[in-house]
Structure 1
Amino acid sequence: MPLEAPLPALEERVADLNARFKHRSATQVMSHALTDPEIGPLALVSSFGAESVVLLHMVSRVDRSTPVIFLDTQMLFQETLEYQVDVSKKLGLTDVRTIHPDADQVFKRDPDNILHLADTDACCNLRKVEPLANAIAPFDGWITGRKRFQGGKRVDLEFFEIENGRIKVNPLAHWAADDVKDYMINNRLPRHPLVGRGFPSIGCAPCTSAVKPGEDPRAGRWRGAEKSECGIHFVDGKIQRIASSPEQGD
């Protein structure tokens, strides 16, 4: 596990980065983040969901050996699993790390794979929160696809921020929804096959349904329940849930 920099020093470093890159492009931010030794080793956490291919493509243009963490909850759509393989091959990514929930914990806490029916938060914790926390532990920071237009606490999102003693990089912070679409079209990037079937936000199969015209893009996630977010963030060492994008991490 990397040594964490003292918080004041880390805050100063992040403030300097944001000042220097205030008017730079997403690709410039990505390139610098992956090559600046003061930032340290980073991983891209990707769900290989509806918009994930944008960051994956950017990473492939800078360094195809960048670690990409793909969390297979063992409840994903088969289309997502196949898309992950296809995109990784197309982009030439050489270090895609597929991680899974701890088998012993799954056997202990969800032996029949029905925990999501009784407690979706507990299921997300078992299959997403815990394995992801373990996966990013060796890195000094990680790259996400969060954007200001997603609203909530993200309206003031910067390119660089601090989370639980690590640097988090948000190359797409200043992008609009159309920027994402245009990038995919201009670079001829493959769409997730479920997008064309009404799934603008793609998670685990049991908890994701198609979205009707006019509905919020996340309406198909945990439909009929108050829950609308599976992403987690660490603040002062504690897990906290906040409003999020359709894709976790990317």
Structure 2
Amino acid sequence: MPSDRTSDFAREIAAVRETALKIAALNERFEKLHPRDIIEEAVQDPFFGKMAVVSSFGAESAVLLHLVASVRPETPVLLIDTLKLFGETLQYQNRLQHSLGLEDVRICAPRKRDIEHHDPLGTLSASDPDKCCRIRKTDVLDRGLAPFDSWMNGRKRFQSSVRSVMSIVERDGTHIKLTPLANWSAEQIKAYHKEHELPPHPLLSRGYGSIGCYPCTSKVEEGEDDRSGRWRGLDKTECGIHR
């Protein structure tokens, strides 16, 4: 007769397999759908449970946020304020929140004690950018997502070689992660932006492509891809929130 531990393990394996099959089925279906339809189905599917959107309010954020606002404007939107964001990004967040009618934007910030202990001078990004991202972004995101079962983000496959192979639905630790814009091209993003007359991030006109924290974001030169201005000169392409 199997022990309780063996039975528990068997149930765990069965649950993992069931989740994997569900994710595979969703990915097959979602690849054929418009991002708005993906969002509409996801917010009604019990599989995703309680869902939040995580947005940087960066260069291309308006498209996903507009889609979310058109489907369910009360969806919680989390902005991780690293305390190193451009002032223009915070102004843009305020403008988009009100122009799109987002009803529940939540600002998540690092703990004061973590900053005082790990980065009292505010220069950690120069000596250990991975650790800086951890205390200012990934740890903050983990706390912000604690009440939720799943989260939505605005990555696209065209943005980098690392992102080129991502799925629309993924398992992310204890959460399910949804990327509705994954298979949209840069041209489709621009066309949607233009069609709906979405306001651009103010730094785009000043030569920035992908916009993060100001110590680790630089302007993009002609011929470079948009994310080349992030962590320039370092062997680093992601902040760590997308594991």
Normalised by the length of structure 2, the TM-score is 0.89
Are 2:191 and 1:182 aligned? Answer: yes
Residue 134 of structure 1: which of 127, 133, 143 is its match?
143
State percent identity of aligned pairs.
Answer: 47
Are 2:99 and 1:99 aligned? Answer: no
Are 2:24 and 1:8 aligned? Answer: no
| Aligned 1:45-84 pairs, distance under 5 A | 45-84=54-93
Residue 34 of structure 1: which of 40, 43, 49 is its match?
43
Supply the distance in 2 between the matched residues of 1:212 and 1:154 (Cα, whole angstroms): 22
Supply the distance in 1 between the matched residues of 2:77 and 2:104 (Cα, whole angstroms): 6
> 1:212-249, CA deviations, whole angstroms, 9 ceiling, x for partnerless residues?
11123222222233333213334xxxxxxxxxxxxxxx
| Aligned 1:206-217 pairs, distance under 5 A | 206-217=215-226
Contact 2:59 2:211 in 1 (8 A): yes
Which 10-residue stretch deviates more, 142-151 or 35-44? Answer: 142-151
Q: Which residue of 2 aligns with 1:25?
A: 34
Counterpart code for 1:13: K
Q: Deviation of residue 148 (structure 1)?
A: 2.5
Which 10-residue stretch deviates more, 210-219 or 220-229? Answer: 220-229
Q: Deviation of residue 196 (structure 1)?
A: 0.9
Are 2:185 and 1:158 aligned? Answer: no
SS of match in other structure, 2:68 = helix
> How many pairs are equivalent?
231
Supply the distance in 2 between the matched residues of 1:215 and 1:21 (Cα, whole angstroms): 31
Are 2:138 and 1:118 aligned? Answer: no
SS of match in other structure, 2:190 = helix
Are 2:177 and 1:168 aligned? Answer: yes
Counterpart code for 2:71: V
SS of match in other structure, 1:80 = helix
Residue 231 of structure 1: which of 214, 220, 240 is its match?
240
Supply the distance in 1 between the matched residues of 2:115 and 2:147 (Cα, whole angstroms): 23
Please tell me the root mean square deviation across aligned C-alpha atoms, in Å: 1.7
Alpha carbons of 1:130 and 1:40: their partners in 2 closer, same or farther (altered >3 Å)? same
SS of match in other structure, 1:90 = helix
Larger relative contact order (CA 8 Å, sep ≥ 6): 1
Q: Deviation of residue 85 (structure 1)?
A: 0.5
Gap regions ≥5 residues in structure 1: 235-250
Contact 1:7 1:165 in 2 (8 A): no
Are 2:206 and 1:197 aligned? Answer: yes
Supply the distance in 2 between the matched residues of 1:93 and 1:101 (Cα, whole angstroms): 23
SS of match in other structure, 2:191 = helix
More helix by percentage: 2
Gap regions ≥5 residues in structure 2: 1-11
**Aligned structure 1 segments of 4 or more residues deviating by more than 6 angstroms:** none
Supply the distance in 2 between the matched residues of 1:21 and 1:222 (Cα, whole angstroms): 32
SS of match in other structure, 1:89 = helix
